[in-house]
Structure 1
Amino acid sequence: MSPQRRRVRLSPAAEHAVHPLLERIRTEQGVPGPFSDEALAEAETAAEEQVTGGLDLTDVPFLTIDPPGARDLDQAMHIARDGAGYVVQYAIADPASFVQAGGALDTELAERGVTFYGPDGSITLHPEVISEAAASLLEGQTRPACVWQIRLDGEGAVLEAGVQRAQVRSRAQLDYADAARRIENAGDEPAGELDQVLVLLREVGQLRTAQERARGGASLAIREQEVVADDGGYRLVQRAQLDVEDWNAQISLLTGMVAADLMRQARVGVLRTLPPADPRDVDRVRRAAHGLGIDWPQGRPYGEVLSGLDSADPAHAAFLQEATSLFRGAGYLTFDGELPAHSPHAAIASEYAHVTAPLRRLVDRYGLEICLAATAGTEVPGWVREALDDLPGIMGRAGQRSAAYERACVDAVEAVLLQGRIGQRFEGVIVEVDTHDGGPSAGQDVLPRTGEQRGTVVLAEPAVRAEITGPGLPLGERVQVRVAHVDVDERAVRFALA
């Protein structure tokens, strides 16, 4: 599946130390500020109007599974048996029902592109009156949605799929731990209707994971990190990803894949693309695997290696973080009329479109409209077609800004975590060493082991990735390193060989 970027959050006890740094980062990175009065007025007016129409699916027992405390709920699901197979109903929030094409709010959404995530909270794509209220698929609330119906056979392969507008009402808002606990306690023959959905989520999720491996796809289980106060300092606590998170993600991936097929049928679309991993990155990550004690037999695809790792293991978690470099160069491909050549997303090993997170990602609103039209056999709205040429640029800029913001936040948190620890020793693996031309190398052709070199070291515990300097840095080897320099204001951490 598509890899997540590394994110860190703060416990309340740690917020006061990092909050001023994060405020400065937001200013430096040009992170979006408040919405204009005009955009907010449009949002508030739209939120007050009751959105009706479409199918009435309020009797379907949908449920949501999201991180604890989430309010911007994009997705609600229901799964039922269908003979030897399954029917997946996947309700996606419908912000298009609240946004006037070409209005002030629409213009500001294009300037933002995505929700920005930081350790102390998020800066939402839509005003909260929409993203966390009127359009959010909150428990017990009737909401407009774009509801996918996807029929699968007994092996989890797609038989048919389509999407229609409907009214839905979620029965329960679960977090991942809640869902995992209910699945475990339900056994194989659950009595309650919601537990039946969750047990079928496990079945379908496992089948779709097997389908992913058969295609040659690759999943990354990135652990969430939290900085907590500890005896006058700070430490990093890491949460392993639960199986239910992967099963939940598989439903989203399934939907994105069938969306790409519908777009081809409509001859209008916006695909998410990713080129194959650069062989130099594969070689470098393979060396990191060796240094972290992870078995990677010659000739075995990296997707198979990643699927066998446990993010609860610190060495595996560090390797998974480093493996994100295999998924560089993602972009968007739009078309209208002439069909493009087959354009798979390398991590998914299939064509794929973003359509399941429209409250947090602008492009999904347009993708959903294309798929609604394809299902109904109607024309794609003009406002969607007119935006296609600009969407890749809008989303590319938004992705770069949000990634830079998240990266700066992680750097700041790591500096706070390691301040006052000059000289402290850790175990790590050197994953990059600068070459003569100043670029990173994953091979043997590095500077001679005399004089000072600069490279990158990954620690298994805590999961820190930082600069290292020293003579003869041994690429791909497990080494003892010490904290040599920390500058919290500059968000800089540097290690040296111990």
Structure 2
Amino acid sequence: MAAAGGPPGGIAVAAAAPSGRVRPEAGWDFSAVRAELGLPADYPTAALAEAEQSVAQPVATGQRLDATGLPLVTVDPPGAKDLDQAVLVQRRRSGYRIHYAIADVAAFVVPGGALDVEVRRRGQTLYLPDGNVPLHPPSLSEDAASLLPGQVRAAVLWTIDLDSDGLPVRVDVRRALVRSVAQLDYEGVQRSLAAGDPHPSIALLPEVGRLRREQALLRGAIELGLPEQQVEPDGDGGWRLVLRPRLVVEAWNAEISLLTGMCAAEMMLAAGIGVLRTVPDPEPETVAGLRRSASRLGVHWPDHVPPAAALAAMDPVRPEALAVHVAATRLLRGAGYTAFGDGAPAKANHAGIGASYAHVTAPLRRLVDRYSAEVCLAVSSDRQVPEWVREALAELPSAMGSSDRVAGQVERACIAQAQAWSLVSRVGEEFAATVLRVPNGSAGEVFLADPPVIARCTGSGLGEGQQVRVRLVAADPASRDVAFEVA
């Protein structure tokens, strides 16, 4: 998650350390962003009471498969407590078997109850550096419903068999009881794989991950290699801006989630009911325009190569390739949710994935996943989709769209605030920068590597992909404004 935070106006100026480190002289926090966007602070009393009651009651086990013998593991950022997924990758005679357990939030939330109403109002967990605004109360999301190691937990268990090319040949989903045997983190898994000593439950993850990445390119999945700005505590009461590279193990792990979401979408489409995450395919003229941009930047893009393969072949570390990746965001416009209940919709594709896709793997952090899971459970067991799910489907696209917009606003405001903090004492200094885009001839957007900042820049002669010297002319923490000019 790339996020930062903002101080209330009028706080004393901070001194910025190298590499985007922010050393506050006063207690800067992120309350201004929370207040400005009206983020919820507490849960209604009735919702908390319902959560505590559900936690106190034992989960009904009669209709659940006992899968506690599967050595599932979770793989998340260090310190995460809201653990949605646990995975086990096994070899079959002619392929692989994926066991993927997803937290069964529906076991704790009463449809139409006070907690359900509040969760539907929130839509998703919002992430800020000084603490999350959770979708569910922590007693659920970080405890009773979380797939914490050594604990028997209610789960929706997906079992997906893959052939030797990594393509699904059999899918099963059912309610189960599971017990994770280990809580792993990305960097630890990466180190263990490099040392040749991975956890046995995910020793095959690199094989499956590579096969699924190959399938993604064959599908035409469009993936953008853009720098991810993050704000993290520096350990001394301040904050630092960092660029966090995506570890290859994160990409492999994400492929398991994407695989599950694609299988869920196929089940929904076959049954004619569900809710999909959709991104329309780019128009031919949009692709042609991106090709022209690449050509102007001197980036080779053969005519017969589709966007997915062309972007995958470009190293975004190169300035001109980075500018192409930024320009390629135009290929993925129009993201939304499509709900349906009387047959498959006409437009069901997700251009970023190259297939139909449904959110089902993060119900602790995202509202729609709970409903999607119920659809798939019903379809898999040849039952009617529950009425409470049917009634909510039509409202989910609006609810999720609204919460997505708030999440985007939170991230942008926090990053902007942290950028202003990191540069407030450096107005007048010059920096090396890469021009990312130039919407008009005299103003554009530039990227600095140290500190990792993306901000507007004015001046003549700006060209996308160009490396330039820029001068900082504004860094205002109160307005969160950062601006440069060509030096």
Answer whether TM exceeds 0.5 for this pair. yes
Q: Counterpart amino acid of 1:47?
A: V
The structure-2 alpha-carbon separation of the partners of 1:64 and 1:313, relative to structure 1 and needing over 3 Å to count, comes to farther
What residue is the counterpart of 2:12 in the other structure?
none
- Structure 1 Cα separation of the partners of residues 338 and 485 of structure 2: 43
CA contact (8 A) 1:288 1:430 kept: no
CA contact (8 A) 1:306 1:320 kept: yes
- Structure 2 Cα separation of the partners of residues 393 and 316 of structure 1: 36
Q: Counterpart amino acid of 1:466?
A: A
- Give the TM-score taking structure 2 as reference length: 0.88
The structure-2 alpha-carbon separation of the partners of 1:317 and 1:32, relative to structure 1 and needing over 3 Å to count, comes to farther
Give the alignment of 1:50-89 within 5 angstroms.
50-53=58-61, 54-89=64-99
What residue is the counterpart of 2:260 in the other structure?
255
Q: Counterpart amino acid of 1:459?
A: L
What residue is the counterpart of 2:349 in the other structure?
344
Question: Deviation at 1:405?
Answer: 1.0
- CA RMSD in angstroms comes to 3.0
Give the alignment of 1:261-276 within 5 angstroms.
261-276=266-281
SS at match of 1:426: strand
What residue is the counterpart of 1:146 in the other structure?
156
SS at match of 1:471: coil
SS at match of 1:455: strand
Aligned residues: 470
- Structure 2 Cα separation of the partners of residues 47 and 311 of structure 1: 47
Question: Deviation at 1:469?
Answer: 1.7
In the alignment, is residue 7 of structure 1 matched against residue 3 of structure 2? yes
CA contact (8 A) 2:4 2:413 kept: no
The structure-2 alpha-carbon separation of the partners of 1:180 and 1:277, relative to structure 1 and needing over 3 Å to count, comes to same
- Structure 2 Cα separation of the partners of residues 426 and 362 of structure 1: 43
SS at match of 2:428: coil
Q: Counterpart amino acid of 1:468?
A: C
What residue is the counterpart of 2:15 in the other structure?
none
In the alignment, is residue 371 of structure 1 matched against residue 376 of structure 2? yes
- Structure 1 Cα separation of the partners of residues 38 and 287 of structure 2: 30
- Structure 1 Cα separation of the partners of residues 380 and 146 of structure 2: 24
- Structure 1 Cα separation of the partners of residues 237 and 60 of structure 2: 55
CA contact (8 A) 2:378 2:385 kept: yes
For structure 1, which segment, 221-230 or 103-112, has the greater mean C-alpha deviation from structure 2 after superposition?
221-230
Question: Deviation at 1:82?
Answer: 1.2
What residue is the counterpart of 2:219 in the other structure?
215
CA contact (8 A) 2:5 2:33 kept: no
- Structure 2 Cα separation of the partners of residues 342 and 271 of structure 1: 10
Q: Counterpart amino acid of 1:261?
A: E
What residue is the counterpart of 1:112 in the other structure?
122
Q: Counterpart amino acid of 1:479?
A: V
Deviations 1:187-211 (A, max 9, x none): 6xxxxxx723222111111110011
Query: Identity rate of aligned residues, in percent?
Result: 45
In the alignment, is residue 495 of structure 1 matched against residue 484 of structure 2? yes
What residue is the counterpart of 1:121 in the other structure?
131
SS at match of 1:466: strand
CA contact (8 A) 1:15 1:120 kept: no
- Structure 1 Cα separation of the partners of residues 77 and 295 of structure 2: 30
- Structure 2 Cα separation of the partners of residues 467 and 379 of structure 1: 53
In the alignment, is residue 25 of structure 1 matched against residue 21 of structure 2? no
- Structure 1 Cα separation of the partners of residues 470 and 302 of structure 2: 28
- Structure 2 Cα separation of the partners of residues 243 and 17 of structure 1: 38
Gaps of 5+ in 2: 7-18
- Structure 2 Cα separation of the partners of residues 231 and 397 of structure 1: 36
In the alignment, is residue 44 of structure 1 matched against residue 52 of structure 2? yes
Selected match of 2:403 from 385, 395, 398: 398
The structure-2 alpha-carbon separation of the partners of 1:471 and 1:312, relative to structure 1 and needing over 3 Å to count, comes to closer
What residue is the counterpart of 1:183 in the other structure?
193
Question: Deviation at 1:481?
Answer: 1.1
Selected match of 1:196 from 192, 197, 200: 200
- Structure 1 Cα separation of the partners of residues 219 and 26 of structure 2: 43
In the alignment, is residue 206 of structure 1 matched against residue 214 of structure 2? no
